[in-house]
Amino acid sequence: MSISPLGAIDTALNDLADEFELLGDWEERYRYVIELGRDLAPLTDAERSEENKVRGCASQVWLVTEPQADGTLVFRGDSDAHIVSGLIAILLRLYSGRTPADIAAFDAKAAFDKLGLSEALSSQRSNGLKSMVGRIQRDAQATLGQATLGKTSLA
């Protein structure tokens, strides 16, 4: 039995929650988040553009959205701050490789509550995280809109 794409997001969230639970306190969890960020593939200088920059983050954050032939979106990202790079890595585990519809249907706030990020992050980092999620959701919506326009124009 295959897992639905939205189920795959939930599975990724549950896996992250289990990993966080094993770590115990937030000092250990912060170290783990930073470690996750170190594993991000670096962006090229060209990808660190104004177009890819995420507004609303105190740190420098860039997200690249790559639509795939199968209709999913792959995200890549980077930041000049270690903890923010780790937050990007968490978002990529949740959102990358998913369809725009699944991205739009996923409840990011509930996910951050489940991971304990809502209460563990400063308000500035929480706002930045919301800005990153907003960017991912806008890119997904734009892709959905393009698909709809494409279908309409062929009809």
* Positions marked catalytic: 57
* 62: helix, strand or coil: strand
Q: What distance in Å separates the CA atoms of residue 19 and residue 33, rounded to the nearest whole number? A: 11
Q: What share of the chain is helix, strand, coil (3-state, %, to 5)?
A: 60, 10, 30
Burial class (CB in 10 A: 0-12, 13-18, 19+), 84: buried
Strand spans (E) along 30-72: 61-67
Sign of the CA dihedral with 115 first, then 120, 125, and 130 last = positive
Cα–Cα nearest to 44, from 82, 94, 78, 89: 78
